[in-house]
A and B are shown apart, each in its own frame.
Chain A
């Protein structure tokens, strides 16, 4: 009897290990054979003469790091897919030079530890010359220490915490704006446009959320906006205890600095409990799932506004074709940051190409990192060039109003304001 059970148990263990091996092994397994089709495909689209060269120049990999699993995977997968599409559409130049360019996607699970562990892996793979990522500033900041040590250039499609670039690392760049502009812009909007007199600030205790919340608080203190409370919470399910004092105080605006999956539940419970004012948030709110989770809490009462550094597709003239291509390839409309990831990948490709031409062969990581700073391209989201710390000299900031209570209406959210603000630079 016992033996049979033991046999059953070991069978189960073997089965689960096999299953795990399948899950883990699937990605490389599909990547590895991709070498051959890539080599034969390239001449089909490019000149036939490159066929001999294709074999000689070797492989270049470009990494992506973003949460591909877990609660923020909607945005993280969009980053990976945006980069993938860019590689497919813009990788032709490098293929023509004889390189086999591959994507190396990594899942940082929105967790700093996992991001750093992946970063060590990425740095150890000498074929990786450039990277696109991350979604979360809290993951980007520690991971980029690894990239910095290895001179590996990374272009961020989404990280808005100032510290990402203010450390002055050559290897760290971003194609979006910064929280020390975004949060004061949100405060300015609440104070001037909405005419708010009191605000309740809540954040998710991450580098991103707390950073944004503190910039917002700073701006609110300057304007003399009354701060009812400044709370941080990791709660994801039951906000009753926080909501009760909030409803009693009825501030004009509730500003949530965090990510949609947590904020959605909070908005819903606060509205249910009788809060009637306006919800506000930053770019972490910009995901259609927010409408699914929070429902009509976003459209009743004072409604919901959010600022973002990544405007909706309608804000960019060049993005219409991108959205169509994206939908054709992945069967879904691009979530925010997909276009930014596309541009980040475009920067990587342009930099590698320039560095390879200058070096007359496969460039070193340092050469690529230096080339990234020299890049000047016209991306989907506007002109992209970096200043001496890796920020865009002038970035766009959007303020949007949520228009519908369901996932399908998310793309119809109305742009209330577009601001163009110069990067504050390295600060003091």
Chain B
């Protein structure tokens, strides 16, 4: 008799979606509770207004902001964590792969605008096309980068490919800058205006004065990210290629002896990571509305942090790490100023978020979900 865990619908659809839901809800609830508790503690410190009331007023919006950016971090973080799982080195050029995806996506939309079809096309189709193109370009770029900059260093000490990755990151930034200045002459790449993504769904919540406002593009960001995560889960855990990836991650020489083409699997890993990065680039571009050749650096750094926070090499960990970091950042930026009466503003959000990160890593050095690569990947 087959148990329910063997049922493919459960294993590849319900389980991962449930896991994502639990992570998102759990992290949101924990942080919200801590915040409300802090609001009661600091209540006597703030006399101008009722701190608890002000806290509750913006809480749902803060959670939504955090979850949205958290999913983007998670999608990028998967690229770092997959490569780490297989090769045990940090691919620092992944932030540029992500940036290239975003810029390619915007350029496609700008092209549609240029030929005049943007206004008449279905807006979701435009986004889907932009994401697909970005995935193709970023995926191929990641494979090319691996071939040129990492493969020749396969046997070298671990620091060597790391330096090569940092070099590649600078190289890609300036190549993109060169290409942009030669073709468009502009430094900023600006998302053309189209569709209704800037609008909000207003959800009336009982007991609240203002309706909950969910921007349509936030919903798209979360939706596409979830789709990517579920797809990746299926690829890694449900296909032969995924099995091969896990085998290479666990023990490369043995995998090679079993007839797995290790180089090919490593290329596929980069392809998948780059593809996810490209899609995340377009999602981020939707939100940021403006990218430049250096835009990849900070989201990339945050995503890398998410991967470490969740447990580097662990795919589920990257998801959880991204969500937690996104929420932490959002809470810190929105509440620091209110709680401290303006003494610490949103500018300290990164210090705050990273201080918590350091605390977590002191008590759990291998990250929230641990580093075990092969078993959980």
Please give the residue numbers on chain A whose beta carbons come within 8 Å of chain B beta carbons, in ascending order. 2, 5-6, 8-9, 12, 16, 23, 69-71, 73-74, 205, 229-234, 236-238, 240-242, 244-245, 247-248, 261, 264-265, 268-269, 272-274, 289, 292-293, 295
The contact string, 1 if C-beta is below 8 Å from chain A, for chain B 314-336, is 00000000000000011111100
Chain A to chain B: the 9 pairs with minimum beta-carbon distance, closest first:
A241-B333, A237-B288, A240-B65, A232-B347, A231-B345, A244-B61, A241-B330, A248-B58, A242-B346
* Bound: A5/B263 CA distance, A: 15
Answer whether residue B151 sits at the interface, using C-beta atoms and an 8 A cutoff.
yes
**B36 to nearest A CB, angstroms?**
16
Known: A9-B152, A229-B342, A231-B345. A244 touches B289 (CB 8 A): no
For B57, B188, B213, which residue has the most chain A Cβ atoms within 10 angstroms?
A: B188
Q: Is B215's CB under 8 angstroms from A272's CB?
A: yes
* Bound: A16/B330 CA distance, A: 41
Residue in chain B with minimal CB distance to A203:
B347
Q: Is A244's CB under 8 angstroms from B171's CB?
A: no
**B98 to nearest A CB, angstroms?**
12
Residue in chain A with minimal CB distance to B197:
A272
Q: Is A2's CB under 8 angstroms from B288's CB?
A: no
Q: Is A231's CB under 8 angstroms from B347's CB?
A: yes
Which residues does chain A contribute within 8 Å of B198, judged by CB atoms?
272
Which residues does chain A contribute within 8 Å of B337, judged by CB atoms?
229, 231, 245
Q: Is A240's CB under 8 angstroms from B69's CB?
A: yes
Q: Which of B69, B178, B289, B291 contacts A268 (CB 8 A)?
A: B289
Please give the residue numbers on chain B whose beta carbons come within 8 Å of chain A beta carbons, in ascending order. 54, 57-58, 61-62, 65-66, 68-69, 148, 151-152, 171, 177-178, 181, 187-188, 190, 193, 198, 200, 213, 215, 284, 287-292, 295, 298-299, 329-334, 337-338, 342, 345-347, 349
Q: Is A293's CB under 8 angstroms from B290's CB?
A: yes
Q: Which of A69, A230, A241, A273 contacts B213 (CB 8 A)?
A: A273
29 contacting pairs across A/B (C-beta < 8 A): A5-B152, A6-B152, A9-B152, A16-B171, A23-B178, A69-B177, A69-B187, A71-B188, A230-B342, A231-B337, A231-B346, A233-B347, A237-B284, A237-B287, A237-B290, A237-B299, A238-B287, A240-B65, A241-B62, A241-B66, A241-B332, A242-B346, A244-B334, A245-B334, A248-B58, A264-B290, A265-B290, A268-B289, A293-B190
Q: Is B148's CB under 8 angstroms from A293's CB?
A: no
Known: A71-B292, A240-B69, A241-B65. A9 touches B346 (CB 8 A): no
For B290, B331, B338, B349, which residue has the most chain A Cβ atoms within 10 angstroms?
A: B290
* Bound: A237/B198 CA distance, A: 15
* Bound: A289/B190 CA distance, A: 10
**A260 to nearest B CB, angstroms?**
10
* Bound: A232/B346 CA distance, A: 7
For B291, B342, B346, which residue has the most chain A Cβ atoms within 10 angstroms?
A: B346
* Bound: A248/B290 CA distance, A: 25
**B129 to nearest A CB, angstroms?**
23
For A70, A240, A269, A295, which residue has the most chain B Cβ atoms within 10 angstroms?
A: A240
* Bound: A6/B147 CA distance, A: 11
Which residues does chain B contribute within 8 Å of A71, judged by CB atoms?
187-188, 292
**B281 to nearest A CB, angstroms?**
12
Residue in chain B with minimal CB distance to A289:
B188
Which residues does chain B contribute within 8 Å of A73, judged by CB atoms?
187
* Bound: A389/B222 CA distance, A: 56
* Bound: A5/B193 CA distance, A: 45
Which residues does chain B contribute within 8 Å of A268, judged by CB atoms?
289
Q: Which of B148, B287, B329, B349 contacts A9 (CB 8 A)?
A: B148
Q: Which of A74, A237, A241 contacts B329 (CB 8 A)?
A: A241
Which residues does chain B contribute within 8 Å of A230, judged by CB atoms?
342, 345
